[in-house]
Amino acid sequence: MALYAALGVILLIVLGIWLFWRPIMNLWQDVQIEKAKELFSLERERLEARFFDQAAQSGKPRGLRWKSIEWNDDVVFVRDRETGDLLALVGVTVYFEPIEGEALEDNPNATTPRDATAVFQFTRRNWASTGRVLFNMDPQLMIHRYRDRFEVLAAHQRNHESLA
């Protein structure tokens, strides 16, 4: 009789784990996403500076030198359905200047500001930048265009607190 009671208890434990596993994992993932969003907010200035350095060194677009970036306050967090990666998308306006002696030196459009999306990736509990930028699309257009690939998790706006 004790054997049946022990098997019953084990069965109840297995059934309980099976029933509650998905909600527990969803809750754990939600907590991890919130931590990642908070970390992005804390590291944003450093990430922006690193992004600019990496993008400027990429040599793209050819014949133009990165002059400056204007950052939008909004950040859209998405999950890449193919890789499971968490990404932060930030709208930017990029300003270029032509490189002397290059083909675009006399092109009047070379200095036209360009709208784009800066992409940051969360890996190994840290945010990283590779300088990946998608020109001619803001984050909302990117999400719409690749809606089958990206799942929107949250939108977040930079906190402008006064230091006074």
pLDDT bucket at 162, cuts 50 / 70 / 90: very low
Residue 130's contacts (CB-CB under 8 Å, 6 or more residues apart) are 54, 119, 121
Chain segment 23-39, per-residue pLDDT in tens: 766 666 777 888 889 99
- Residue 81's SS3 state is coil
Q: Which residues of 107-129 are buried (b: 16+ CB within 10 A; e: fewer)?
A: eeebeeeebbbbbbbbeeeebeb
Q: What sections of the chain are H helices per DSSP?
A: 2-57, 139-145
Chain segment 105-150, per-residue pLDDT in tens: 667 777 789 999 999 999 888 999 988 999 999 999 999 999 999 9
* Region 78-92 average pLDDT: 93
pLDDT bucket at 50, cuts 50 / 70 / 90: very high
Instruction: Say what percent of the chain tops pLDDT 70.
Output: 86
Q: Which residue has the tokens 């840290």?
A: 126
DSSP strand pairing (114-123 vs 86-98): antiparallel
pLDDT bucket at 54, cuts 50 / 70 / 90: very high
pLDDT bucket at 102, cuts 50 / 70 / 90: low
Contact predicate 87/74, CB 8 Å: no
